[in-house]
């Protein structure tokens, strides 16, 4: 039998040409790196970088950034303003060309911008393409010009909307929910970036407002990098005055500052054209070379004791070093659009020359500082030699037979790393249960006694002297990183010693367990980063609850699963009536799910300053309230609706940064005053809450509710009271045990819930943002108590369960 096949034609018509900004929307990750929170933040950075470029060109000294309640962002500067005259080739206003054409900007020659961070010219046009809307207001030539775009396309012409006394550009955009996985900006991440920019650009003021939390902070550091290093070393015991230097060679500007402290951690931050180069590059290479050479040159020539006369390596001279290096150059070569490493080969020599001369001058003028630095470096060299010997000892022991393994390690029978698992548990109690419950063919157990050292604050030689850490290193196989740079071949050879491809941290679900887990994660991040990057480190997820009644027993992973379990019990023998409508079984479960979703939105709105009672009153208004705040004059509809409930509502206008901000002011029956920016009524939170409330009122037009259970009927008020009452009923007749420790489980339970590959749940430890990870470990585990206190104060109100 023959079968006719018509092959799909492949000709010129098969080639798709994405015009304008459609390519950006089709493949956003190519332009901003990802569509997660990093990509979301990248939109803000691109717009702010354009204003920074104006500052570096000498035309801007103030930038305002505001996150609004609907998660839109406004960036405003007092620069020259984007040109608004007609582009000679495009025949459109230049600002429209900049907003809608990739690779269009003033940064491809050095006429408009001598130095620029926005190298590729795709920044603001990409932001436009990936936004639901973008509005640009340009103050230039005494006029205020305005244009609006939606998903990259202009929807209005560029029009003059008023007079302008000064110049500048204001851009407001709302990230497109269709593109991004999350639409919630992280305040701390953005604040840190803006603070860095203020350090790197002397006398530039960055005003950051977050209307979601009513936080406002202004960054301005006239001291530049000197102040940057001073603040980085806040709380540390410094051993000398800051060494700083600036210079310009062949159009490349170099600025650096450094200072040593009595600690052991190296903290060197590098920037190129204000872009944080997390992977370093040629400017970092030049700085390291110059610093090592300057210190060794001083040792050779200076009149210092013979005990200090030894050759120091780069690792020796960087222990306890805090430094910031910033270069600004006309034609930077970055690795990709995300700009993480500087590649200009000529920069290394120029940076080395300026740093070497500045450090030499400081040493000659301040011999006491030079001696303190040399003593610190020589001390580091001796400690490093001791660590090297300890490392070799550990390595030799690890290379011996299994008899060299720690005595408390219950090893597995398999010798194949790819199928072997190591469970690190706290204490002998949990270790005993784990050893009895495991599958000895491929699962090994290593109990740790107490809490291991915090390696963030411990020198390498002291770390290797700790018995628990030595046991851990020997059990794992590879030797830890010690700060010395090894070739890729040696790293691969070291990693090949790994005895288990699953290293599982299995600690209790209490405060002590969390602390031990954090100490272990610090150890792996600082000393075994490659294990994390290769996906070998995991966190076990033992159940938090045991639910039982008679012969029935079920283990519950977390609070969310417990809620789902209780919701499943609700429909067993309960019915709820709302007027003529009755809910039971699956329909009742669906109703409760909707109510719980609404409760979550109400909690979110509460963090923005809207109490539950007021929000529910607003949700009962039949249409979205955003249209009622389209102008300054409030329509009668919403005012009448709220008046019937006892509220009054008015609007307030605030003139700020060339913008008019509109606020809604609600006064409750007890005269409590609530003021909230009207953007909230365009936010995702409000829209979803309003939609869900409308669904619920359609399903349940009359209240109160009648709950019937086993022929007993009682009434409850609104939706939230119904949900709480049913959840309380679901708890009746069952026992719930909350596990505090793994030792509370018998071996069979531990195997079934946590160690059985067919049923267990693990979290794989990954590093999504190296810079953020480094910052959080330094903040929470480092020497600076002030950083931890600030972290606790910022997050104290977010704690849901406090174990004291």
CATH code for position 621: 3.30.300.370
Do 599 and 720 meet the contact criterion of CB atoms below 8 Å apart?
A: yes
CA separation for the pair 512, 427 (Å, rounded): 11
On the question of pLDDT at 169 being above 50, the answer is yes
CA separation for the pair 178, 382 (Å, rounded): 57
Give the distance, in angstroms, between the CA of residue 380 and the centroid of all CA atoms in the same chain: 33
Domain CATH code at residue 256 = 3.30.230.10
Last residue of some domain: 219, 241, 274? 219
CB atoms within 10 A of CB 15: 7
Q: How far apart are the first and last CA of the chain?
A: 79
Residues 313 and 205 grouped into a single domain: no
Residue 501 inside a domain? The answer is yes
Report the SS3 class of residue 95: helix
What's the rounded mean pLDDT across residues 512-520? 89
CA separation for the pair 506, 489 (Å, rounded): 32
Residues 294 and 426 grouped into a single domain: no
Residues 68 and 204 grouped into a single domain: yes
Which pLDDT does position 501 carry in this prediction? 95
What's the rounded mean pLDDT across residues 43-53? 91
How high does pLDDT run on average in the chain?
84
Residues 235 and 114 grouped into a single domain: no
Torsion angle (degrees, nearest 10) of CA 396, 400, 403, 409: 70
Residue 410 inside a domain? The answer is yes
- With tokens 């799910």, the residue in question is 593
Interacting residues of 451 by C-beta distance below 8 A, sequence separation 6+? 512, 515, 516, 519
- Range with the lowest mean pLDDT among 1-15, 274-288, 596-610? 1-15
Residues 312 and 239 grouped into a single domain: yes
Name the residues annotated as catalytic.
Answer: 426, 508, 510, 512
Residues 569 and 478 grouped into a single domain: no
The backbone region for 214, taken as left when phi is positive above 0, alpha when psi lies in -120 to 50, beta otherwise, is: left
Domain CATH code at residue 529 = 3.40.50.670
Residues 84-122: tens digit of each pLDDT: 998 888 888 999 988 988 766 554 344 444 444 444 335
The full DSSP string for 609-651 is T--HHHHHHHHTSSS-GGGGGSSSSPPHHHHHHHHHHT-EEEE
CB atoms within 10 A of CB 36: 14
Do 548 and 554 meet the contact criterion of CB atoms below 8 Å apart?
A: yes
Last residue of some domain: 348, 366, 384? 366
CA separation for the pair 517, 253 (Å, rounded): 45
CA separation for the pair 82, 47 (Å, rounded): 12
Interacting residues of 176 by C-beta distance below 8 A, sequence separation 6+? 130, 131, 132, 151
Report the SS3 class of residue 687: helix
Beta bridge partners of 504: 423, 538
Which pLDDT does position 133 carry in this prediction? 94
Residues 676-696: tens digit of each pLDDT: 888 888 888 899 999 999 999
On the question of pLDDT at 800 being above 70, the answer is no
Which pLDDT does position 564 carry in this prediction? 83
The DSSP code for 452 is P
What's the rounded mean pLDDT across residues 442-450? 91
CA separation for the pair 118, 53 (Å, rounded): 8
Residues 199-215: tens digit of each pLDDT: 999 889 999 999 888 88
Cis peptide before 644 (omega within 30 of 0): no
Do 473 and 480 meet the contact criterion of CB atoms below 8 Å apart?
A: yes
CA separation for the pair 227, 372 (Å, rounded): 21
Is 426 annotated as a binding-site member? Answer: yes
CA pseudo-torsion sign 312, 316, 321, 327: positive
Domain CATH code at residue 211 = 3.30.565.10
- Range with the lowest mean pLDDT among 200-209, 284-293, 396-405, 549-558? 396-405
Residue 31 inside a domain? The answer is yes
Higher pLDDT among residues 159 and 771, named by residue = 159
Identify the band that residue 550 occupies on the pLDDT scale cut at 50, 70 and 90.
Answer: confident
Higher pLDDT among residues 427 and 474, named by residue = 474
How many Cα neighbours within 13 Å face the side chain of 292? 15
Which pLDDT does position 411 carry in this prediction? 93
Identify the band that residue 75 occupies on the pLDDT scale cut at 50, 70 and 90.
Answer: very high
What's the rounded mean pLDDT across residues 536-552? 89
CA separation for the pair 126, 152 (Å, rounded): 8
Higher pLDDT among residues 731 and 795, named by residue = 731
CA pseudo-torsion sign 66, 207, 107, 36: negative
On the question of pLDDT at 404 being above 80, the answer is no
φ, ψ of residue 483 to 5 degrees: the values are 95, -20
Q: Which domain holds residue 358?
A: 225-366
On the question of pLDDT at 16 being above 50, the answer is no
Residues 195 and 303 grouped into a single domain: no
E-strand ranges in 560-611 read 574-578, 581-584
What pTM was computed for the model?
A: 0.78
Do 530 and 765 meet the contact criterion of CB atoms below 8 Å apart?
A: no
The pLDDT > 70 percentage for the chain reads 88
Interacting residues of 144 by C-beta distance below 8 A, sequence separation 6+? 137, 138, 160, 161, 162, 163, 164, 658
The DSSP code for 767 is -
Do 86 and 154 meet the contact criterion of CB atoms below 8 Å apart?
A: no
CA separation for the pair 76, 172 (Å, rounded): 8
Which pLDDT does position 245 carry in this prediction? 94
Which pLDDT does position 191 carry in this prediction? 92
Sheet containing 252-260: order of strands: 243-249, 252-260, 321-328, 267-272, 275-276
Which pLDDT does position 316 carry in this prediction? 85
Residues 462 and 334 grouped into a single domain: no
The winner for highest mean pLDDT among 71-85, 393-407, 739-753 is 71-85
CA separation for the pair 200, 221 (Å, rounded): 9
Higher pLDDT among residues 627 and 54, named by residue = 54
Report the SS3 class of residue 770: helix
Helix (H) or strand (E) segment spanning residue 750: helix 747-750
The structural domain count of the chain equals: 4
Higher pLDDT among residues 698 and 632, named by residue = 698
Beta bridge partners of 244: 257
Find, among 470, 488, 468, 467, the residue nearest to 480 by Cα.
470
Residues 475-498: tens digit of each pLDDT: 998 888 776 666 678 888 888 999
Last residue of some domain: 186, 219, 252? 219
Residues 324-367: tens digit of each pLDDT: 999 998 888 876 444 578 888 899 999 999 999 999 999 999 99
Residue 635 inside a domain? The answer is yes
Do 442 and 467 meet the contact criterion of CB atoms below 8 Å apart?
A: no
Residue 160 inside a domain? The answer is yes
Identify the band that residue 12 occupies on the pLDDT scale cut at 50, 70 and 90.
Answer: very low
Do 538 and 502 meet the contact criterion of CB atoms below 8 Å apart?
A: yes
CA separation for the pair 392, 256 (Å, rounded): 37
Do 286 and 347 meet the contact criterion of CB atoms below 8 Å apart?
A: yes
Do 130 and 32 meet the contact criterion of CB atoms below 8 Å apart?
A: yes
Find, among 604, 635, 624, 637, the residue nearest to 693 by Cα.
624
Residues 60 and 203 grouped into a single domain: yes
Residue 180 inside a domain? The answer is yes
Residues 69 and 130 grouped into a single domain: yes
Higher pLDDT among residues 453 and 389, named by residue = 453
CA separation for the pair 761, 540 (Å, rounded): 7
On the question of pLDDT at 393 being above 70, the answer is no
On the question of pLDDT at 594 being above 90, the answer is yes
CA pseudo-torsion sign 487, 489, 492, 497: negative
Do 753 and 543 meet the contact criterion of CB atoms below 8 Å apart?
A: yes
Interacting residues of 93 by C-beta distance below 8 A, sequence separation 6+? 83, 84, 85, 86, 87, 147, 158
Residue 103 inside a domain? The answer is yes
CA separation for the pair 791, 774 (Å, rounded): 15
Residues 574 and 716 grouped into a single domain: yes
φ, ψ of residue 272 to 5 degrees: the values are -130, 120
Higher pLDDT among residues 741 and 125, named by residue = 125
Cis peptide before 704 (omega within 30 of 0): yes
CA separation for the pair 147, 630 (Å, rounded): 18
Residues 497 and 558 grouped into a single domain: no
What's the rounded mean pLDDT across residues 786-796? 72
How many Cα neighbours within 13 Å face the side chain of 85? 3
Find, among 316, 325, 241, 252, the residue nearest to 283 by Cα.
325
Do 381 and 319 meet the contact criterion of CB atoms below 8 Å apart?
A: no
Which pLDDT does position 253 carry in this prediction? 92
Identify the band that residue 402 occupies on the pLDDT scale cut at 50, 70 and 90.
Answer: very low
What's the rounded mean pLDDT across residues 562-589? 84
Residues 692-717: tens digit of each pLDDT: 999 999 999 888 899 998 778 899 98
Which pLDDT does position 113 carry in this prediction? 46
The pLDDT > 90 percentage for the chain reads 36
Identify the band that residue 765 occupies on the pLDDT scale cut at 50, 70 and 90.
Answer: very high
Which pLDDT does position 397 carry in this prediction? 54
CA separation for the pair 84, 90 (Å, rounded): 13
The full DSSP string for 664-686 is EEEE-TT--EEEEEGGGGGSHHH
CA separation for the pair 625, 636 (Å, rounded): 12
- With tokens 């809910």, the residue in question is 583
CB atoms within 10 A of CB 563: 16
């Amino acid at each position: 039998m023959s079968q006719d096949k018509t092959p799909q034609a492949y000709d010129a018509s098969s080639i798709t040409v994405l015009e304008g900004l459609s390519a950006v929307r089709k493949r956003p990750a190519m332009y901003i790196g990802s569509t997660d929170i990093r990509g979301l933040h990248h939109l803000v950075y691109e717009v702010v970088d354009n204003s920074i470029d104006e500052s570096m060109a000498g035309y801007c000294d103030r930038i305002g950034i505001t996150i609004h309640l609907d998660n839109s962002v406004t960036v405003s500067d007092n620069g020259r303003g984007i040109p608004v005259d007609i582009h000679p080739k495009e025949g459109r206003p230049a600002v429209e060309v900049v907003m809608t054409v990739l690779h269009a900007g003033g940064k491809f020659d050095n006429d408009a911008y001598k130095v620029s961070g926005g190298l590729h010219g795709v920044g603001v046009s990409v932001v436009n393409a990936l936004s639901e809307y973008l509005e640009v207001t340009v103050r230039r030539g005494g006029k205020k010009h305005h244009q609006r775009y939606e998903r990259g396309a202009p929807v209005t012409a560029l029009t003059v909307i008023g007079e302008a006394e000064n110049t500048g550009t204001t851009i407001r955009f709302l990230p497109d929910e269709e593109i991004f996985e999350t639409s919630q900006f992280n305040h701390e991440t953005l604040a840190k970036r803006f603070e860095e920019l203020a350090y790197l650009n002397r006398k530039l003021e960055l005003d950051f407002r977050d209307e979601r939390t009513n936080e406002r902070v202004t960054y301005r550091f006239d001291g530049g990098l000197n102040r940057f290093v001073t603040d980085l070393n806040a709380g540390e015991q410094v051993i000398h005055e800051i060494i700083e230097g600036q210079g310009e060679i062949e159009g490349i500007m170099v600025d650096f500052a450094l200072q040593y402290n009595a600690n052991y951690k190296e903290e060197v931050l590098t920037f190129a054209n204000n872009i944080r180069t997390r992977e370093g590059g040629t400017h970092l290479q030049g700085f390291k070379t110059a610093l090592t050479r300057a210190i060794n040159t001083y040792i050779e020539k200076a009149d210092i004791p013979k005990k200090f006369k030894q050759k120091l390596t780069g690792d020796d001279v960087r222990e306890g070093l805090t430094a910031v290096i910033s270069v600004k150059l006309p034609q930077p070569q970055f690795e990709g659009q995300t700009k993480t490493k500087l590649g200009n080969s000529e920069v290394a020599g120029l940076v080395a020359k300026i740093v070497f001369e500045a450090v030499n001058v400081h040493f000659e003028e301040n011999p006491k500082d030079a001696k303190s630095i040399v003593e610190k470096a020589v001390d580091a060299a001796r400690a490093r030699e001791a660590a090297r010997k300890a490392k070799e000892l550990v390595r030799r022991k690890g290379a011996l037979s299994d008899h060299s393994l720690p005595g408390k390690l219950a090893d597995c029978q398999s010798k194949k790393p790819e199928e072997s698992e190591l469970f690190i548990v706290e204490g002998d109690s949990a270790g005993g249960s784990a050893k009895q419950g495991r599958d000895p063919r491929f699962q090994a157990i290593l109990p740790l006694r107490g809490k291991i050292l915090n390696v963030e604050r411990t020198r390498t030689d002291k770390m290797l002297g700790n018995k628990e850490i030595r046991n851990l290193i020997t059990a794992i196989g590879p030797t830890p990183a010690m700060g010395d740079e090894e070739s890729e071949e040696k790293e691969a050879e070291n990693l090949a010693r790994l005895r288990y491809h699953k290293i599982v941290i299995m600690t209790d679900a209490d405060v002590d367990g969390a602390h031990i887990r954090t100490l272990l994660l610090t150890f792996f991040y600082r000393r075994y980063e490659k294990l994390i990057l290769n996906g070998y480190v995991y966190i076990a997820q033992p159940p938090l609850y045991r639910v039982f009644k008679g012969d029935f027993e079920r283990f519950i992973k977390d609070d969310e699963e417990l809620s789902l379990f209780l919701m499943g019990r609700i429909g067993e023998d309960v019915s709820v009536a709302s007027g003529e409508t009755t809910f039971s079984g699956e329909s009742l479960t669906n109703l409760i799910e909707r109510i719980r979703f609404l409760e979550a939105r109400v909690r979110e709105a509460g963090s923005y300053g809207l109490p539950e009672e007021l929000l529910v009153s607003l949700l009962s208004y039949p249409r979205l309230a955003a249209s009622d705040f389209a102008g300054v004059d409030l329509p009668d509809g919403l005012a009448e609706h709220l008046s019937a409930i006892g509220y009054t509502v008015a609007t307030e206008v605030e003139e700020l940064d060339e913008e008019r901000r509109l606020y809604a002011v609600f006064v409750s029956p007890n005269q409590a005053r609530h003021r909230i920016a009207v953007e909230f009524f365009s936010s995702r939170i409000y829209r979803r809450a309003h939609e869900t409330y409308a669904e619920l009122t359609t399903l349940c037009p009359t209240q109160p509710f009648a709950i019937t259970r086993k022929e007993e009927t009682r009434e409850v008020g609104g939706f939230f009271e119904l949900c709480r009452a049913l959840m309380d009923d679901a708890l009746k007749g069952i026992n719930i045990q909350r596990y505090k420790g793994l030792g509370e489980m018998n071996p069979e339970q531990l195997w079934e819930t946590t160690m059985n590959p067919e049923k267990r749940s693990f979290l794989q430890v990954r590093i999504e943002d190296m810079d953020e990870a480094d910052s959080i470990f330094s903040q929470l585990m480092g020497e600076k108590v002030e950083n931890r206190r600030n972290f606790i104060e910022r997050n104290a109100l977010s704690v849901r369960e406090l174990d004291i």
